Structure formats: C-alpha cells, structure tokens
Structure 1
Amino acid sequence: MDKQKAQEQINALKEVLNQYSYEYYVVDKPTVPDAEYDVKLAELQKLETEYPELVTADSPTQRVGGALLGGFEKVRHNVPMLSLSNAFNETDLRDFARRAENVLGDHISYVCELKIDGLAVSLTYEEGKFVRGATRGDGTVGEDITVNLRTIRSIPLTLKEKETLEVRGEVFMPKASFDSLNKKREENEEELFANPRNAAAGSLRQLDPKIAASRNLDVFLYAVGEWKNSDLTTHSARLDTLKSLGLKTNPLWKKCTTIEEVLDYVNHWTTERPNLPYEIDGIVIKIDDLNQQEELGYTAKSPRWSIAYKFPAEEAMTKLTDIELSVGRTGVVTPTGILEPVRIAGSTVGRASLHNEDLIREQDIRIGDFVVVKKAGDIIPKVVRSIHEKRTGDEVEFHMPEKCPACGADLVRLEEEVALRCINPNCPAQLMEGFIHFVSRNAMNIDGLGEKVVMQLFNAELIHTMADLYRLEKEELLELERMGEKSVTNLLNAIEASKQNSLEKLIFGLGIRFIGEKAARILAEEFGTMEKLQEANYEELVTIDEIGEKMADSIVQYFSEEKVSKLLNELSELGINMEYTGPKRAAQSADSIFADKTVVLTGKMESLNRNEAKEKIESLGGKVTGSVSKNTDIVIAGEAAGSKYDKAVKLGITVWNEEELIEALKD
C-alpha cells in the first residue's frame, strides 16, 4: 500500500472511530458493539505502526497515554477563570435576583446547571483540533495537562466543525469508577481516596498519563472563555452549540424565567442529588442573555451575573453496629461509632465521631440504634442523633470502661474536663500517637513516615523515643515488609531534611499539652532558641500575647521533666535545628491588611490549603481563630462554608472568597 492510500484509510478510520466515541461517551447512544470498535482501532494502530509519520495528535490511538512527563508547564489563561460568589439559602438567591433586576429590569431569564464536584479545566481547540488543556490553577495561571486530558474519551480530539475556541468545564470521576478504583487500592493495601473529586484531581496530576487513562474520568463542558467568530447571544444557545460541535454538556440544565422556577430547580436537585451517577455540590445559576451579563459585569474576583448555590451538609441514616475506643497522644480516650457503610457527600463512611461519653448519654445513643450521620464541613463524619422510634429492644447501652483499652491503667477525669484520660506515660497507644504526631505534616513533616510505617517501626522496636527516628539505618529498614531500596532511601532523605526545620515545627511536634501550631510559632519567634524557651518561667510566658495561664503551666511542667531535657539534648546532638528561622512577624506585618485583624477560615480551599492560608495570614500580623464572633474582622469562606458564613453575614462581618484572600496575600 502506498503512503497516499494509507493516509486515506487512516483518515477514514479516524472519522468513524471518533463518531463511535462520540455516540458512546458523549450522547450515551452507541450504534455498534464494542468488538467492532476494537477491530477498527486495531486496523488504525496497524497502519500507524507501518506509517508512523502519519500519526497525529487527534488520532484515537493517542488516548492511551504516552511517556512519563517531567512535570507540568505553566499556562496563562487569556481570559481569567474566575470563581463564583456563593449562596447558601433561599434569601441569598432572591438577593442575587433582586440585584440583577435593579440593573436589568424584570425581563431576565436564568440558566440553572448542576455544579459538578470535580476539577475545573480549560480546553483549547484550533480549527477544530484539541491543542491544549489546562487546570484552573489560581484563575490566572494553570498547569498544562494536555496529555492527561487526551486520555478522557468524552473529550473530543476533533470537533464536528473547524471552530477555534477555548471551552471550560469540570473533569470528574463517576461514582462507579470511584468505587472500583478504591476497591483495587484496598486490595493492593494502598491509601484510599477520600472522595471522587480528590480521585479525579489526583488522576489528572499524574506524571504518568497511563494512570490517568486507567481511571475512567469524564467531563462536562459548561462555559466559553474565548470563541472567535461566534455571534451567539445567550448562554443557553452556547450550550446547544457546544453540544452540536461534539462537546459533552450536562443535559440536566434548565432555562428559567423567574426566581421561583430557579428555586424549584434547586429544591428538586437537593432531594434528587444522591440518585445521580456522579457527585454534585450545588447549583450554578447564570443570567442567560450575554449582553445582560456584560452589563452586570464583574467584581474583582467573580461575575455579578452568576452565583453558586451550595448544598447544606448532607445527612444519611445508617445503623450503629459498635462503639470502638481509641487512645490519643495526650491519653484522651475517644469513642468512635462503627457504622453499616453509608455514602455521604461523595464518599463511603463506616466510622463517625461520637465525641465523648457525655454526648452519648445526653442523646441516649445505643449500640444497634439507627442513627443520623453527617459530615461536618463535608469532611469529618459525625453522629448527629439516634432514631429512637426505630428501636426493637435489642439495642445495648454503652458505658465507658474504667481501664485504658491500650494498657489497662486506670482512666481518670481531670478537673473541668469531659473526657476520660489515661495518665500512664508508658501507654503504648499514646507513644504511638506521639510518634505519628511528631512526623506529621504540620510538625516535622517527614514524607513517607505515615501511620502504617510508624506502626511498623514501633512494633519492630526500632523506635522508642523521637531521637531514634534519626538513628535509623538503611539495613534495618530494608528488613521490614514492603520497604524496598527506593522507598528506604527516600525515607532516610526525608528524615535528614527534617533536621533543618524551623524551631516551631519541633515545638509543635513535641506534643506539649495545650500548645498547638499557632502557639508553637509564637513561642519560637519570641524566644528564638529551644534553650531560651526551656529556661522561660511562668511569669515570662504569661506576658506573651495569646499564651494563657494553662499554656504557661503546661510549658513549665513539660520542660521540667528530666526525660524531656535528655530527649532535646539527644536531638540537638543528632543535628536537629534548635533555632527559629521563620519570618519575623513585626518586620512583615506593619502595613499588612491583616495587621491586628482577627480572621476565621471556613470551607474548602482550592489554591492553598487551610494550614498554608493560616500560616501566611499570621506571618502578616493576623490572628486566625476557629469561631466567628463580634470580634472577628474577616471571614474567608471557601466551598461548603456553612454555619460560620451564615453567622458572619448575620453579624455584618466582612466576608471574602478564596480569590480575594489570594489577592490580599499578593498585595
């Protein structure tokens, strides 16, 4: 066969295979059996093997993933990918409509769309060919993930028309794919993904495209960044045209002519949300007319013509089959409910917090009860209440034990405390939790020393004190199960790197009672060295802003222990840094917008995590607290902000979204 004939056959095969993919993955109406697709794909692969110079980026054979990537290049969005302002209740939605009517009058149509819980992406097509795909990033600059996006079969490599446009949407992992992936990871003893959104985001940021290709990701496109030669005048017309081009849009969008219709749509999907094959976390409402959108314009961080309604925390009913006790690093014994697995807010939950014995008694929660469970902030599962009407008489009352479940020592209830506590300093559960805390991200941040590895080291009696972590030898680690040459080398390198941490990391890692991350930084900055902190007396400590009497007592008592002095001497001799090397707050915060401001962080952040945001704000003179009060100056509301946002609005406190926070940090 000559080259020209091969080119003709390749073009014909690409056309028919792309059509089959469109029918199967986009409109969900396959016209041929899978076997026929496979036969034609094999024909195409054979021809491309014989004529490699005829392989193009839009060929269906290019979806399987190529060589490992060295990293992701940065991509600047020509039109920023702005975030949306949030609505949490009917009042917020009516206010949105009222603001629009004040500018536009009464003749407004809205488009309501399901807010897919995935990862926002931008797809660029030139003359109908898919040429680049990127993450949202900070809205201005994202990462080029073209190779991974090519593996998603619902993203067409060639449009039905030779259009040049940049289209935006959400990549997600269907519930069935998520369950299948986690089942495989469980079989391989790998860490499970918390929810489909995390799984989708993690898949798209793999440096091996073959991993992304194996994850069965999907996409819905819902917006346009740039579109040359488009004369469409409404968002709804754009959605119809995107679909006609072969792009996958969500068919469940609806055009509404009144805010009442919008509310009906919201209420319908609030109820029907669990029946969808993918996760959604809200409803997006947009003004339909593009000229009206332009007239309303934008704030610095979000369009005035669109808003995202966020669902309230999801609840589910299941059965409480048992109550399990765990001992924390401070000796507190905590009851955890063991549940018949139930799906809530994107993940399957089998355990939930019961807080303490008093709560169990007050709510009369019994083993065998049907209970209502929800995720606090869509993250931490907790038992809300038991359903007494469903009792059969077989339920069993729960009583906290008198002895520690880990070591058998007597449990005590300290003055003014609700919790029962084991005060045996040699309790193995406390020692184990202490190690896990010491190596955690916010403490010494030793990558590769997760809970399972710490348990291995502890059970193998390789570690007895924190100093032993810095004495580990390669040979003894290689003898442990599932510890290969590469993982051991990486672990030892991470342990060595942690020696250079600034002092506050070590102070927090020691687990001094009442001393959290923030207090650790205050102490490190105030005293500068571990030696000076050890020498500090009660009077010196209580004069420090935000160091209270209990904290001062705890610090003095901790450093008076002979074993603590011995441990710190050992750590110093092993090369662990004992000085504060972080930024000086006074030098950075004098002119900061956060200087002397009390800030509350709530909801999920995308561009930076809660701890990073907290650290940056505090380095600029701000005070980050956990609850909203009349003394709060600013509330930063991420996704699923919930009750803290509502309270801030009620009190008239300034509320920023994540984009406004990032802008303030840049300034």
Structure 2
Amino acid sequence: MPRRLWLLLLLAGTLAPRAFGAELTCPQVALPAAEAELARLRRAVNHHNELYYQALAPELSDSEFDALAAELRRWERCFPGLASSKSPERSVGSDLAAGAVLIAHPRPMLSLNSAAGPQGVEELWRRIAAAGAPPRLVLVQPKVDGVPVELIYREGKLVSAATRGDGRFGEEVTDRVREIPGVPLVLSGAAPGFVVVRGEVYAERSRFAALRGRSKAPYATARHLAAATLKAKHAAPEQVNALRLFPFELVQTDPDLGLCCDRLALERMAGWGFPVHGAHLRTATKPEEVSALYREYLEGRERLPFAADGIVVKLDDLALRAKLGVGSRAPNWAAAWKFPPQRAVSEVLAVEWQTGRSGRQTPVLRVAPVSLGGVEVNHVSLHTPGILETLGVRVGDLVEIVLAGDVIPEVSAVVGKGALAAASTPPQPPAPDGCYHDGPGCRAQFLSRARYFTSRRTGLGIAGLGAGRLQQLVEAGLVKDLPSLLQLEVRDLAKVPGLGPRSAERVVAALARGRRPGQFRLLQALGIAGVGPASVRGLARNYRSVGELVEGVGEGGGPAALRVRSFFATPQGAELFLRFRELGCW
C-alpha cells in the first residue's frame, strides 16, 4: 500500500467518532442548567447554519461545525425530556433567502447521516438487518461537494428547478439551471410525462481553479461559487460555464415505471439525457467492499473532476428503502463516510485580523505559500481568537494546515517553533467597535457592514454596489454611515471613477427601491448580532412593524426581540432608528 494512502487511512481512523452503540457519557447537571445549555447549543447551530447556507460566509470549518452539532445531539440524547421539535437536529439547514420564490418539493428533500469513519456504513447494515432483510446490494458514489437541486420535467420539458431550501420548499433557480452545460432541457427517449430528478450542482475543478487564479475571483470554495452563481440575478458567463450537474436520484415519475432498484433508475435517467457518471455507479455487497471503494476514492480524490469530501452508500433495493423509511432530517437507507482532511506544513509569516459585520475579530494567519488539494494556500483563518490562544501560534512557527471538507484550509496544530517565535509576543486583536459608521479604526468593519447591508442574499439587494464600488464611495467620503447610502444621488456617483451616467442612474434607482424594502428586510440588513434571516422571519410573524417591536408592544419574539430592543437602546442604534425613520423606511 502506498505510504501516503496508509497515512491517510490511519488519520481517518484517529478522526473517527465513537462507534454507534458505544456507552453515552452524560453531563451531571440539574435540569435548568441542561435546558440553558441546550438553548445555547441550538442557537449556535442555527447561527452557523445561517452563515453557511444563506450568507455563504461560514465562520467554522466543517469539522468544527460537525463537533458542535455532535455536542447538541449528545445533550439531546442525555436529556430527552427537553427535546424540542424546533431543534436544528430535526431539520436540514435552510438556504432560503428573504423574498425568494419558493417551490414545494413533491417529497421532503433531506440531508445525509455523515461520519468521519465507517460507523455510518456499519449502522446502515444494522438497520438493514433489523428490517428482517439479508445483506443487500448497495450503491457507492462520491460525495460531491456542491448544491443539491431538484429538477421537475413535464411532458419531457424542464419546467422548474429548486435548491433543497428547508427540505420542504426550495428556492427557484430554473433560469440559471437551464444555462448549466449538460442539463437536458428536453428529455430524450421514452421518458414519462412527469419526472422528478435530484442532483448536485458543482463547480468543475479545473474551471474553478482557473477562476480562482484571477486576482478578483470572489469565491474561496467551489461550493460557494456554485451556490452564489445559482442564486445570482446576473452571473458572469465564465462562472455559469464552470457549473455541472451530478444526478444522483430519480425521485418520482408518473406513471410509476415499476423500477426495482436505484442503479436501474440511474441508468434509465442516462437514457433520457442526464449526465449520469457511469464510472461512479459502484456496487458492494458487504462492508469490506465498501471500505475498498472508500480507499480507492480517497487515493484518487484529487483526480476527480469535482471536489468530493467522502463517499455516499445507498441501499439499491427501492422496496427495501421504502420499508426502512426516512427520519426527520435524513433517510434511513443511506449513509456518508467522509474523507479525512488533506494536510501540509508551512511557516507563519504574520498574524492579521479580520473584522466581521458584528464586530467579531477573526485571526488570520499569513503563511508561506503551500499547495494543498491543487490550490495554493497563503492565508488561513483561525475562526476565533480562542483557537489562536489554544494553539499558541507565534510568527515564525511551523503549523500543520488541513484542507477540511476538501476545500477550506484550517490550522490543526503547531508542529515546530521557529527562531522568531521565541522572541515574539502573543498577537492581540484590535479593540472592538460597533462601527455602524466610517471612522478611525472602523473602515474595515464598516465596509463589511455596508456589503452585508447592500447584498442580495442578506441585505437590500442594491444592484451595482459591489465591494469595490462601496470602498470607492467610502474612501471618497460620500458614504459615512448606512443611511447615507440610501441618500446618494447621481451627481455623487458621478464623482466615482469608472461609473458612467447610465450606471449611476441605475444605482440610484436601485437605492430608491432599497428605501422601500419592507421594514423587516431592512432590519435584517442591519446585521444585528444574533439576529439572522430566520430570526427576522419569526419577528415579522409576531409584530406588525419594527416600531411595535422596538417599543415592546405585544408578546412573542423571544431572545431575538430582546437583542433588537437592546441594540436600538444604544446611542448608535437609536440614531440609526431615527435616521431610517426620517427617510421613510419605517
């Protein structure tokens, strides 16, 4: 066995979670303390789900989020009397944006049970045995790191396409999916009159690498490029051309074709024109064969045309699938076995700080360039100052960098102390500030807030005001706070280099529409800490206006309502409220 593969498999074993059925260790705390901890964990998981699926700006790596979700599951198992139907562990993460056009899924579109070791596959075999069935054939496919979508065809024509969304409803992306190379707009052969197909939209590895190689490539991972391009109102042709579809399931047809197994269904889809990857329709009859296929994909992961972070194992027999059924967030007839992260060692050249819209200070290591997963890495986020302190990182240290989820670089350990490290002092973050205005020490954070405020996904959707244009306006002194953005006029924008009169008029027209977005969308655009899109939707159901919410009229709203009132009770919050009221926004 090649030494590199042996090391990867050894690493996979060390990263594997406790086996299913192992003794559960529960914290010895009183019920009130357990209830408080469960509430904290649920808020944290919901918050990071919003960042991952909606803002496309995750603050945690896949492994850190998996650990957080596993801790929530542990507490929920230890205290079943405190179970909640609203727990994020009972639903899939939602990528639905405010104001999106929704399409109902004919059947719930769920996630997968994932593990960093073979335990998930072993548990799948136990479920099959518990159903009274002998070991059956399973399909093994790569776990493509993309965006799940559902395509619906009527009379052979593509009529709608939607993301997974919250599992029940997805965001419509029909027009963009029609542009993806290889997606059949009209089915060939004797296709049924009604067809529902699911697949993964991914960015082709070589094309994504070419886009990243350009100085202004905006997306750090292939999945984020795919997600942003799918939902963009206007997308660059080269970004659309980078997308491909990996079909993985025939969900429904009318009339029923009477298919016995998943493998035959996928082959039938290939005959209708879907780009089914025949080389990735692998089969196994026992766990040992699955392990062999896992090793094969692990060794060849960098040669795949897409980013893959593991394998998916699915029961082939469709009748037995129906018998096993599905859970609240994942089917009982499938499991995912995730790859260990790729690794490299590099020297720390500097510790820099990024300031998020909520004032969060994130340490970022600037490292000597190193190739990892076919991509050059020269900056690595540590996600929180606590990780920086725990690792004890200093300039000059040698650090081990892993490529979590096959795409996101993170530091796993300090493996050597450099000559400069002994003389350097622990890096300290800059002093936090609300920074809802431009000023000394606030430029980077205010720009981050302004981008959030104007973005289509999280803010008011102001077309024509990208990161570069916003920076020009702020540096020219034309935008000093968020309300001043909505007061820009054509003569102001005419002072910005490279912005012609027609473009200026379009931006001003978009700003005029932004002054009437709906009160709660404006509230969401402010990016108040702990008040994300899902929280705002809940507030909109409980209050008729932001004024009622701020004044505390009526009941409901929970912690999010308290956070909003606390924010508007601060001097800068009160000033923002009055400024937007003067503009007629609420």
TM-score, L = length of structure 1: 0.55
Q: Is the 8 A contact 1:371 1:386 kept in 2?
A: yes
User: For residue 311 of structure 1, what is the aligned residue in structure 2?
Assistant: 338
| Secondary structure class of the residue paired with 1:496 | helix
2:142 is the alignment partner of 1:114: yes
Aligned-pair CA distance for 1:474? 0.6
Q: 1:569 to 1:174 in 2, by over 3 A?
A: closer
* 1:484 aligned partner: 500
Paired AA for residue 480 in structure 1: V
Cα pair 1:327 1:430 within 8 Å, conserved: no
Query: How far apart are residue 477 of structure 1 and its match?
Result: 0.2
SS of match in other structure, 2:131? helix
Indicate how the Cα distance of structure 1 residues 284 and 547 shifts in structure 2: closer, same or farther if over 3 A, else same: closer
Q: Distance in 1 between matches of 2:562 and 2:101?
A: 51
Indicate which of 496, 506, 510 corresponds to 2:512. Answer: 496
* DSSP-derived class of the 2:584 partner: coil
Q: What is the CA–CA distance in structure 2 between the aligned matches of 1:111 and 1:208, rounded to whole Å?
A: 38
Q: 2:584 is matched with which residue: 558, 575, 597?
A: 575
Distance, in Å, in 2 between the alignment partners of 1:520 and 1:375 is 35
Counterparts of 2:522 and 2:108, CA distance in 1: 39
How far apart, in 2, do the equivalents of 1:353 and 1:182 lie? 18
User: Taking structure 1 as reference, are residues 155 and 525 closer, same or farther at Cα in structure 2, changes over 3 Å only?
Assistant: closer
Q: Is the 8 A contact 1:125 1:163 kept in 2?
A: no
8 A Cα contact 2:311 2:337, kept in partner = yes
* 8 Å contact kept, 2:401–2:412: yes
Select which of 276, 284, 295 maps to 1:248. 276
Q: Per-residue deviation at 1:480?
A: 0.8
CA 1:82–1:371: 2 relative to 1, 3 Å: same
1:285 and 2:313 correspond: yes
Query: In the alignment, is the contact (CA less than 8 A) between 1:503 and 1:530 conserved in 2?
Result: no
Q: Distance in 1 between matches of 2:580 and 2:382?
A: 38
Task: Measure the CA separation in 2 of the matches of 1:334 and 1:207.
Answer: 30
Corresponding residue number in structure 1 for 2:490: 474
2:249 counterpart residue number: 223
- The partner residue of 1:178 within 197, 208, 228 is 208
Distance 1:396 1:148, change over 3 A: same
RMSD, aligned CA: 5.3
What pairs with 1:233-244 in structure 2 (closer than 5 Å)?
233-239=260-266
Which residue of structure 2 aligns with residue 196 of structure 1?
Answer: 222
Check 1:488–1:380 CA distance in 2 against 1; reply closer, same or farther (3 A cut).
Answer: farther
Q: Distance in 2 between matches of 1:222 and 1:124?
A: 16
- Structure 2 vs 1, CA of residues 216 and 524 (structure 1 numbering), >3 Å: closer, same or farther? closer
Aligned partners of 1:515 and 1:197: how far apart in 2?
A: 25
Contact 2:462 2:507 in 1 (8 A): yes
- 1:387 matches 2:415: yes
**Does the Cα contact within 8 Å between 2:182 and 2:244 map onto a contact in 1?**
yes
The residue matched to 1:112 in structure 2 has which SS?
strand
Cα–Cα, structure 1 residues 134 and 507, in superposed 2: closer, same or farther, change >3 Å?
closer
Q: For 2:190 and 2:388, locate their aligned partners in 1 and report how far apart those are by CA, in whole Å.
A: 64
- 1:494/1:149 Cα in 2 relative to 1: closer, same or farther (>3 Å)? closer
Question: Using the alignment, how far apart are the partners of 2:249 and 2:560 within structure 1?
Answer: 50
Asked if the contact 2:382–2:388 (Cα under 8 Å) also holds between the matched residues in 1, the reply is yes
Single out whichever of 391-400 and 82-91 deviates more from structure 2: 391-400
Structure 2 unaligned runs (5+)? 1-99
Shift of 1:293: 3.4
Secondary structure of residue in 2 paired with 1:440: helix
Tell me how far apart the structure 2 counterparts of residues 261 and 106 of structure 1 sit (CA, whole Å). Answer: 16
| 1:112/1:283 contact within 8 Å kept | yes
State the AA in 1 paired with 2:582: E
Q: Indicate how the Cα distance of structure 1 residues 375 and 485 shifts in structure 2: closer, same or farther if over 3 A, else same.
A: farther
- Offset of residue 307 of structure 1: 1.3
C-alpha displacement of 1:455: 1.7
Gaps spanning 5+ residues in structure 1: where?
A: 1-71, 402-417, 578-667
**What does residue 47 of structure 2 align with?**
none
Report the 3-state secondary structure (helix = DSSP H, G, I; strand = E; otherwise coil) of the residue aligned with 2:305.
coil
Q: Name the structure 1 match of 2:124.
A: 96
Percentage of identical aligned residues: 20
1:387 aligned counterpart, secondary structure: strand
Find the residue that maps to 2:280 and give its secondary structure. coil
Cα-to-partner distance string for 1:12-71 (whole Å, 9 max, x where unaligned): xxxxxxxxxxxxxxxxxxxxxxxxxxxxxxxxxxxxxxxxxxxxxxxxxxxxxxxxxxxx
CA contact (8 A) 2:568 2:577 kept: no
User: Aligned with 1:335: secondary structure?
Assistant: strand
Please, which of 73, 76, 86 is the counterpart of residue 113 of structure 2? 86
Pairing partner for 2:297 from 269, 294, 313:
269
CA contact (8 A) 1:504 1:524 kept: no
> 2 CA distance for matches of 1:531 and 1:162?
58
8 Å CA contact 2:158, 2:185 repeated in 1: no
Alignment of 1:129-144 (within 5 A): 131-132=157-158, 134-137=160-163
Structure 1 SS opposite 2:276: coil
* Cα distance between partner residues in 2 of 1:547 and 1:125: 43
1:630 is aligned to: none
Give the drift of 1:366: 3.2
1:445 aligned partner:
460
Deviations for 1:553-588, whole angstroms, at most 9, x for unmatched residues? 9876x33x8xx77666554433342xxxxxxxxxxx
Alpha carbons of 1:209 and 1:321: their partners in 2 closer, same or farther (altered >3 Å)? Answer: closer
1:260–1:244 CA distance, 2 compared to 1 (3 A): same
**Which has the bigger relative contact order, CA under 8 A and spacing at least 6?**
2
Is the 8 Å Cα contact of residues 508 and 520 (structure 1) preserved in structure 2? no
Secondary structure class of the residue paired with 1:575? coil
CA distance in structure 1 between the partners assigned to 2:525 and 2:135 by the alignment: 60
Please state if 1:460 is matched with 2:476: yes
For 1:291 and 1:81, the matched residues in 2 are separated by 18
* Aligned twin of 1:428: 440
- Partner Cα distance (1:81, 1:308) in 2: 17
DSSP-derived class of the 2:279 partner = coil
SS at match of 1:429: coil
How far off is 1:445 after superposition? 3.2
CA distance in 1, matches of 2:153, 2:560: 53
1:172 alignment partner AA: Y
* 1:117-170 alpha-carbon deviations (Å, 9 max, x no partner): 3343547597xxx643742445777758489547625869775x6555846544
Asked if 1:152 is matched to 2:162, the reply is no
Q: Contact 1:174–1:218 at 8 Å: present in 2 too?
A: yes
Indicate how the Cα distance of structure 1 residues 523 and 313 shifts in structure 2: closer, same or farther if over 3 A, else same. Answer: farther
Q: CA deviation at 1:386?
A: 2.0
Larger Rg: 1
Closer, same or farther: CA 473–524 of 1 in aligned 2, 3 Å: farther
SS at match of 1:471: coil
Distance change (3 Å), C-alpha of 1:313 and 1:446 = farther
Match of 1:645 in 2: none
The normalised TM-score by structure 2 is 0.61
Question: 1:315–1:372: 8 Å Cα contact kept in structure 2?
Answer: no
1:131 touches 1:146 (CA, 8 Å); kept in 2? no
Q: Which amino acid counterpart does residue 215 of structure 1 have in structure 2?
A: N
Partner of 1:55: none
Equivalent residues of 1:204, 1:212 under 8 A apart: no
How far apart are the structure 1 equivalents of 2:560 and 2:192? 60
